[in-house]
Amino acid sequence: MKAGKNGDSRTILVVDDDPDIVMLLRYNLEKSGYGVSIAVNGNEAMDEVRHLPDLVLLDVMLPGLDGWEVARRIKTDQRTRHIPIVFLTAKTSEVDEITGLGIGAVDYLTKPIRVKRLLARIESALRLADANAGVLPMPHEPVTIGPLTIDVRNYSVRVDGTEVQFAKKEFEILACLASRAGQIVGREELIRSVWRNTIDPANRSLDVHITKIRQKLGAYGNAIETLKRVGYRLKT
Amino acid sequence: MKAGKNGDSRTILVVDDDPDIVMLLRYNLEKSGYGVSIAVNGNEAMDEVRHLPDLVLLDVMLPGLDGWEVARRIKTDQRTRHIPIVFLTAKTSEVDEITGLGIGAVDYLTKPIRVKRLLARIESALRLADANAGVLPMPHEPVTIGPLTIDVRNYSVRVDGTEVQFAKKEFEILACLASRAGQIVGREELIRSVWRNTIDPANRSLDVHITKIRQKLGAYGNAIETLKRVGYRLKT
DNA sequence: GTCCATCCTTAACATATTCGTAACATGTTG
DNA sequence: CAACATGTTACGAATATGTTAAGGATGGAC
């Protein structure tokens, strides 16, 4: 059951078997600019999850697979484990301070649904997910730029199809440049991303690594442009 | 009151003041291969929790500290908050309170106890906790990678069709690598997955095991690549 | 219980690679 | 050209991993 509208907005998968709640959520989420897809039971949810929504809003009580099981499966699958899950639970008399519980990207909300609160939580969860993703520009898919293929998942670089060995730092620098291919990556920014603030920006180590990377790229070494006093750019 | 047996299986802390229920749970859990420790009231439970069980099965009605308070304390303590809690309750009226209590690591079951359901929930809760902790899932199905076949169900490894004996840790390491064949598995991640955070990341035991595994793989020992400062990768 | 085999960890040493620094070279900007 | 930023090369300390041996722990057999 699809209901996305999308442009480049975020898609939220709503999993609930109560039609009233589904309509309520859909209406409000779409009004807020999210794409929405719907599943009314656990199995449908698993189908929809394959389309990689940006977030899952998940009722605990479900016919068939229950919410726990759906969550478990999402978190166990390499391809979907990064997707933040916000649980919806039945009405409760008391919720204190379980906020410490939110392991990873999991949050929860209690019914009845307060729309404003819901939207705030969703936004917060998405931001957190973004921030986690930004720790290292980690496109889960391999990135191909001309003759270059960079796969963060296995730390591999291929030039014209042949794998070239990159040391860790070299690889991370190249991955940072690749994550913004065609754009300038500031020197400071690069250093911050790779060394995590543990090194002073005047350090020459970056230059040395850049040289090594260019060597390893062989004929394509000049794909990394220097912009003096600014940074580097990986040509597309 | 201790009742654990083998050192490697998961340990479950059972907290209930009814001897019949305790015996029933202990029998069935041990039969399923879990280690079991017992507490008959809230204070004993807090003592036992210090030994870091993998899961707590917690009756709501307890003499002394009640189940809510025990759960609250477990979830408030940095060292124990990751431990999943499964509540046992007789009254359905309490169910609402439980669901509001905390998500991610908490589940509940109503009495009378259905053993099969109980075991399923426990397994589900443990897996979810693992996923949240970043532990790699072991493949249920036999996995074949080139000349290698790895079957988790009977802990068997076959190389070119002939079975090779692997010790438990060796096997688990190989299985983790196989679960992400072709991809890099971070050293830390590997250690987390196999030792479940009971070992410090600087430990050299992993290296020793890797050597042994390579030996046992014979001609295919080099299928396990080392990426210095990153991790290992099983070539496909 | 004792004995024995196996598994796991630790220790110690060997080897390999990475990464940062220094030093000098080159190029660019004003 | 002066000042500065970056390119390049070489070297070595720090670090990571490979490898082997030894001892502790565990569990089974008797």
- What are the tens digits of pLDDT across the range B187-217? 988 998 999 877 887 899 999 999 999 999 9
Tell me the CA–C1' distance in angstroms for A233 and D6.
Answer: 15
- Same domain as B98, residue B208: no
Ramachandran angles phi, psi of A181, nearest 5°:
-55, 135
Highest-confidence range of A94-98, A105-109, A114-118, B57-61, by mean pLDDT? B57-61
Which residue from B103, B121, B137 is facing A106, i.e. has the nearest CB? B103
Q: In the prediction, which pLDDT does B104 show?
A: 41
> Helix, strand or coil for residue A110?
strand
**Domain presence at residue B162:** yes
Cβ proximity of A110 and A89 under 8 Å: yes
Highest-confidence range of B73-82, B87-96, B157-166, by mean pLDDT? B157-166
Q: In the prediction, which pLDDT does B89 show?
A: 84
Q: In the prediction, which pLDDT does B134 show?
A: 72
Of the residues A131, A154, A181, the one at which a domain ends: A131
Q: In the prediction, which pLDDT does A173 show?
A: 95
Burial of A82 (0-12, 13-18, 19+ CB in 10 A): middle
Of the residues B131, B152, B169, the one at which a domain ends: B131
- Same domain as A226, residue A172: yes
Structural domain harbouring B178 = 143-234
* Distance of alpha carbon A83 from alpha carbon A15, whole angstroms: 14
Tokens matching residue A103:
């392991």
The shortest C-alpha distance from A40 to chain B (Å) reads 20
Mean pLDDT of chain B: 85
* pLDDT, mean of residues A173-184: 91
pLDDT of A205 over the 80 cut: yes
Q: In the prediction, which pLDDT does A92 show?
A: 46
DSSP count for chain B of H helices, then E strands:
8, 12
Element spanning B96, H or E: helix B93-101
- Same domain as B225, residue B186: yes
Q: In the prediction, which pLDDT does A5 show?
A: 39
Of the residues B131, B161, B179, the one at which a domain ends: B131
**Domain presence at residue A199:** yes
Q: How far is CA B145 from the centre of its chain?
A: 26
Tell me the CA–C1' distance in angstroms for B170 and D21.
Answer: 19
CATH for A126: 3.40.50.2300
Long-range contacts of A129-136 (CB under 8 A, 24+ apart): A129/A54, A129/A55, A129/A82, A129/A83, A129/A84, A129/A105, A132/A82, A132/A105, A133/A82, A136/A172, A136/A175, A136/A176, A136/A193
**Domain presence at residue A137:** no
* Distance of alpha carbon A164 from alpha carbon A157, whole angstroms: 6
Q: What is the pLDDT of residues A156-178, one digit of tens each?
A: 999 999 999 999 999 999 999 99
Amino acid at B123: E
Residue with token string 């480049």: A8
CATH for B164: 1.10.10.10
**Domain presence at residue B137:** no
**Domain presence at residue A5:** no
* Distance of alpha carbon A210 from alpha carbon A221, whole angstroms: 9
pLDDT of A107 over the 80 cut: no
Residue with token string 């879990």: B34
**Domain presence at residue A170:** yes
Question: Which ranges of chain A would DSSP assign to H, the alpha helix?
Answer: 19-31, 42-49, 67-76, 115-134, 168-179, 187-195, 205-216
Under 8 Å CB-to-CB from B67, ≥6 apart: which residues? B15, B42, B58, B59, B60, B61, B87, B89
Name the closest residue (CA) to the C1' of nucleotide D9: A208
- Same domain as A110, residue A24: yes
- Same domain as B175, residue B72: no
- Same domain as B66, residue B168: no
**Domain presence at residue A2:** no
- Same domain as B153, residue B121: no
- Same domain as A25, residue A85: yes
- Same domain as A19, residue A84: yes
Residue with token string 């499964």: B86
Report CB contact under 8 Å: B75, A98. Answer: yes
| Structural domain count of chain B | 2
Q: In the prediction, which pLDDT does A160 show?
A: 94
Q: In the prediction, which pLDDT does A93 show?
A: 30
Cβ proximity of A119 and A137 under 8 Å: no
- Same domain as B126, residue B147: no
pLDDT of A206 over the 50 cut: yes
Report CB contact under 8 Å: B228, A93. Answer: no
- Same domain as A106, residue A172: no
Q: In the prediction, which pLDDT does B44 show?
A: 94
Q: Is the CB of A203 under 7 A from strand D?
A: no
Pick the more confident residue, B131 or A170.
A170
**Protein-contacted positions of strand D (CB under 7 Å):** 5-10, 15-21, 25-27
Report CB contact under 8 Å: A68, B182. Answer: no
Report CB contact under 8 Å: B81, A95. Answer: no
**Domain presence at residue B103:** yes
Q: Is the CB of B116 under 7 A from strand D?
A: no
For residue A96, what pLDDT band results from cuts at 50, 70 and 90?
Answer: very low
pLDDT of A133 over the 60 cut: no
Q: Strand (E) positions, B65-123?
A: 85-89, 106-110
- Same domain as B127, residue B167: no
Residue of chain B whose alpha carbon sits nearest to that of A73:
B128
